[in-house]
Structure 1
Amino acid sequence: MNEPIRDRLVTLRRTLHRHPEPAWREFYTTARVVEELRAIGVDELAVGPDAYDPADRMAVPDADLEPWISRARELGADPALLDRMTGGNTGAVAVLECGDGPAVGLRVDIDALFIEESTDTGHDPAAEGFRSEVEGTMHACGHDVHMTWGLAVLEAIKESDFAGRLVVFFQPAEETSGGGCPMAKSAFAADLDYLLAVHVGLDHPTGEVVAGIEKPLAMCHVDATIHGRSAHAGKAPEEGANAMHAMGTAIENTYGIPRHSDGMTRVNIGRAEAGTASNVIAERAHMEAEARGETTELMEYMKDRLARTINSAATMHDCQADVEVVSESPRSDSDPELQALVSEVAEGVPGTERVLPAADFGASEDATFLMNRVQRDGGLATYLIVGTDHPDSHHTPKFDVDEASLTHGVDVLSETILELERQHPVAHANTDSVASAANTDTDSVDAGRGA
């Protein structure tokens, strides 16, 4: 632990990769991050409920958290930290106070996915001994890299002559869009002049940097349960109300929802289950769905029609539906002024082969809650991408990264933060650009809590 993070980026990333934990279960992960933060010596460190209001969380699991807490305890996690994270209040915020200057935020995510990692000998984590040790769970999106960047950047800035305030958000539950809202509502997000959010890869190769994404899709996760009435399928089918039939109608009709002329929309039912036996009319069916839109308003359009479609299908088959929006995230675009600065910095960082000022995102991210908060308060935000050669797509069992991108990402982020101090304040091209970038969505942060 006394060895600088900069000298053990690969080791740290691989340690985090071996111990993936899904949304709101990142107990060992948080404890490991806090251990590193304490060694760095930050000026303020908040964990779990000290970092945000637990009531603002979304997509909090109903399942028992004890197995995940027990595993973290067995791995040597600080018992006091585990007590503080009771109820799944994971994640942390670290602050460096370095004198007068800009307040800069950096957001990295910490959760993993429910994916069984490949055991193929051609998969480097399996071949080199750092494959996931948690059955059915994997860092298949690079969040292990993101955490490593966040810690190494904190260390680098502390050792530099930076003057200002650096706030690093180690955000839980990105994959379920559950953690961005509470982080954005917290006091730590107040009065930030600049916010950097970052992702590795996303089909951009090692040496490529995207200074800011455009057109992230606003998104919502929706759970629906259809309640019917059981009956004997052979003897008295007319006495039942078939929840499975209603679910089938809902699925078919969902894909018939009209798209919108104002922009891109998406809808999908990704998981469905119903029934107990071949001779029983199903009395219950459950679906997990999502809706997305090029703007927050278009997402709301798809969300409303998805709920209406499910309810109508249930009514048609004499059933009832409970539709719950589990989580959601708004759209927020990167600010061109900050994109320009990141481009300028990245061009001069060793290892950079190509800089793209902007790229369409096409997916969704709950970092947009933090971006919107900063932009609404008059600051600038960007979501940048540091490329990596990955042998398979994100969210697949063989996802991995080129570890050369570890050093490259630390350098791009650290130099950007130092340059923000040198150029502070980064002038707005015009006052309308911030409102436009925030998608004029002044209620987006508050809207998430009631989802």
Structure 2
Amino acid sequence: MTEPIRDRLSTVRRHFHRHPEPAWREFYTTARLVEEIRAIGVDELAVGPDAYDPGDRMAVPDDDEIEPWLERARERGADDALLERMAGGNTGAVAVVNRGEGPAIGLRVDVDGLFVEEATGDGHVPDAEGFRSEIDGTMHACGHDVHMTWGLAVLEAIADSGAGRHESRSSSERGSDGAFGGRLVVFFQPAEEVSGGGCPMAKSRFVDDLDYLLAVHVGLDHPTGEVVAGIEKPLAMCHVDVTIEGTSAHAGKAPNEGANAMHAMGTAIENAYGIPRHGDGMTRVNVGRAEAGTASNVIAERAHMEAEARGETTHLMEYVKARLERVVRSAARMHDCEATFDVVSESPRADSDPALVEVVADVAREVRGTERVVPTADFGASEDATFLMERVQETGGLASYLIVGTDHPTSHHTPTFDVDEASIEHGVSVLVETIRELERRHPVPRRDGAEADG
């Protein structure tokens, strides 16, 4: 790993692509990240429980779901000391470069994969070129392999700025001020796909006193060469698990003696979709998974479903969540059952700050490879990076969630998802130059006239 990451972006991305791991099970991924970070040389590196309070995690799977992934990482050569530190699913890392006076800038990238079986066939580039997922039923189908590569390359560029290791880069890419001055904190966040990792990292000491936070995503239906300088209207959301307990009985001989958990669940599902939409903005509700019963001649005594609520604002999400819980509990009572309603994870809405969006847009227009800059775009989905954005904004800083476009043959979260690898270099340049421009402009005034602290 002596060759600079910037010179092997595709190789790094493809390695991560071959080894996707789901939320709170990113053991091998974290170990590989740590190897690269140590080779870069940083001022502080925190892994797992040193990066956040494990008690703040959301959507953590049971131990029996975690252990096989830990053993798989061990079999593939992950460092035993690191694996011990990550025991219990405490994955992810935070790396810090501290170069004295200057702004404190955070960059958040996510690291987890999805439970998607990756496609095969010559039409799918990862399969044709030998970097398809090696783990059945699991895939980097959302570009987090690219995000990790960006995080490492940006960390390297800032740690190494002014050291002359990348003379092949243009002068605009290296920046005119020589060595970086300030503090860069890169959050390699686990469990984004279940909205489980943003909260603990946002509560960590590493977010304290950040002047700026950048979060980033690849693609999202924006083509190669396009940059969205900041997203707006990410939906606040919550994931919930519902269990309904009833009483079993013989469905033919004595159905009246049972309390039908399946019937209660059906009532809850039907009524959930009848929750009134709110006049203040858009709301969403969905039941994505439901199961109940054991046999056709047995009244089901237990039912389970997984659902979500979303809203255009955090307040609207809370409205839907409260209505959904009322629907579930009422349906259970109607059928003489009992219900538990557990919020597994959630995330707030947080919009990009206009002043920081302007900086990103100005930088992106001058970066080689940019064909179009979109100042802002509605996100339309949910993201737990909003926890970090909200925390920075609450303490007077600025945050922006940007999108670096890529030509992807199919949508995110599909078996044939892939990226145009030209977008990897493009994303590194946009992020590095934005960080250097923030260093030059600091403090960037807020639109309300206040200045970012620091």
Q: TM-score range by the shorter chain?
A: over 0.9
Distance change (3 Å), C-alpha of 1:126 and 1:79: same
- 1:6 has 2:6 as partner: yes
Report how far residue 301 of structure 1 moved. Answer: 0.1
Taking structure 1 as the reference length, what is the TM-score of the superposition?
A: 0.95
| 1:398 aligned onto 2:416 | yes
Aligned to 1:130: 131
Q: In structure 1, how many angstroms separate the alpha carbons of the residues matched to 2:298 and 2:450?
A: 60
Q: 1:357 aligns to what SS in structure 2?
A: strand
Q: Deviations over 1:54-92 (max 9, x none)?
A: 011111112511110010001110100000001100000
Which residue of structure 1 aligns with residue 294 of structure 2? 276
SS class of match (2:193)? coil
1:202 counterpart SS class? coil
SS in 1 for 2:74: helix
Give the partner amino acid of 2:42. V
State the distance in 2 between where 1:200 and 1:324 align.
32
Q: Whole-Å Cα distance in 1 between the matches of residues 398 and 121 of structure 2?
A: 44
Is 1:320 matched with 2:321? no
CA contact (8 A) 2:445 2:451 kept: no
Match status 1:425 vs 2:426: no
- Stretches of structure 1 that go unaligned for 5 or more consecutive residues are 435-451
**Is the CA contact 2:443–2:451 (under 8 Å) kept in the aligned structure 1?**
no
Q: How much has 1:98 moved relative to structure 2? A: 1.1
Partner of 2:218: 200
CA distance in 1, matches of 2:40, 2:50: 20
Amino acid aligned to 1:305: R
Is contact 1:335-1:433 (8 Å) kept? no
Counterpart among 197, 201, 204 of residue 183 in structure 1: 201
Find out whether 1:255 has 2:256 as its counterpart.
no
Offset of 1:428 from its aligned partner?
1.2
Partner of 1:442: none
* Equivalent in the alignment of 1:47: 47
Q: Which amino acid aligns with 1:100?
A: E
Q: Which moved more, 1:107-116 or 1:58-67?
A: 58-67
Assess, with a 3 A threshold, how the Cα gap between structure 1 residues 69 and 376 changes in structure 2: closer, same or farther.
Answer: same
Contact 1:179 1:366 in 2 (8 A): yes
Q: Residues 63 and 118 of structure 1: is their aligned pair in 2 closer, same or farther, counting only changes over 3 Å?
A: farther
Report if the CA contact (8 A) 1:27-1:72 is conserved. yes
Partner of 1:17: 17
In the alignment, the residues of structure 1 paired with residue 391 and residue 227 of structure 2 have an alpha-carbon distance, to the nearest angstrom, of 25
Aligned equivalent of 2:256: 238
Aligned partners of 1:11, 1:66: CA distance in 2, in Å? 28
Secondary structure of the corresponding residue to residue 247 of structure 1: helix
For structure 2, the residue ranges without an aligned partner over 5 or more in a row are: 162-178
Give the match's secondary structure for 1:178. Answer: coil
State the partner residue of 1:445. Answer: none
- Say which SS state the counterpart of residue 121 (structure 2) adopts: coil
Q: Which residue of 1 aligns with 2:164?
A: none
Give the CA deviation at 1:324: 0.3
TM-score normalized with structure 2 length: 0.95
Matches of 1:432 and 1:337, distance apart in 2: 11
- In 2, the alpha carbon distance for the partners of 1:429 and 1:276 equals 60
8 Å contact kept, 2:444–2:451: no
1:94 aligns with 2:112: no
Aligned 8 A contact 2:44 2:95 in 1? yes
Q: Quote the Cα distance in structure 1 between the aligned partners of 2:34 and 2:374.
A: 34
Answering whether residue 353 of structure 2 is matched by residue 357 of structure 1, we say no
Q: Which residue of 1 aligns with 2:169?
A: none
Is 2:86 the partner of 1:68?
no
Quote how far apart the aligned CAs of 1:121 are: 2.2
What SS does the aligned partner of 2:157 have? Answer: helix
Q: For 2:300 and 2:416, how far apart are their aligned partners in 1?
A: 37
SS at match of 1:341: helix
- Cα offsets for 1:218-261 (capped at 9, x unmatched): 00000000001111111111111111111111111100000000
In structure 1, the residue corresponding to 2:8 is in which secondary structure? helix
Aligned with 2:390 (options 352, 368, 372): 372
| Conserved 8 A contact 2:63-2:88 | no
Cα deviation, 1:172-231, whole Å, max 9, x if unaligned, reads 000111000000000000000000000000000000000000000000000000001111
Instruction: Report the number of matched residues.
Output: 434
SS in 1 for 2:39: helix
Give 1:215's aligned amino acid.
Answer: K
Name the SS of the counterpart of 2:38 in structure 1.
Answer: helix
Cα deviation 1:376-415 (Å, max 9, x = unaligned)? 1110000000000000000111111000000000000000
Structure 1 residue 210 corresponds to structure 2 residue 228: yes
Amino acid of the residue matched to residue 155 of structure 1? Answer: E
2:113, 2:261 → 1: CA distance?
A: 33
Contact 2:229–2:403, Cα closer than 8 Å, also in 1: yes
| Segments of 4+ moved more than 3 angstroms | 431-434
Corresponding letter in the other structure for 2:364: A
Deviation at 1:432, TM superposition (A): 8.3
Q: How far apart in 2 are the matches of 1:410 and 1:75?
A: 29
Q: Deviations over 1:6-54 (max 9, x none)?
A: 1110011000000000000000000000000000001100000000000
CA drift of 1:126 comes to: 1.1
Query: Within the alignment, does 1:106 sit opposite 2:124 as a pair?
Result: no
Q: Distance in 1 between matches of 2:266 and 2:116?
A: 27
Percent identity between the two aligned chains: 79
Deviations 1:347-372 (A, max 9, x none): 00000000000000010000000001
Corresponding residue SS for 1:358? strand
Instruction: Report the Cα offset of residue 159 of structure 1.
Output: 1.7
Q: CA RMSD of the aligned region, Å?
A: 1.0
CA contact (8 A) 2:243 2:305 kept: yes
1:134-180 per-residue CA deviation (whole Å, 9 max, x = no partner) reads 11111110000000000000011112111100000000000111000
Tell me the equivalent position of 1:32: 32
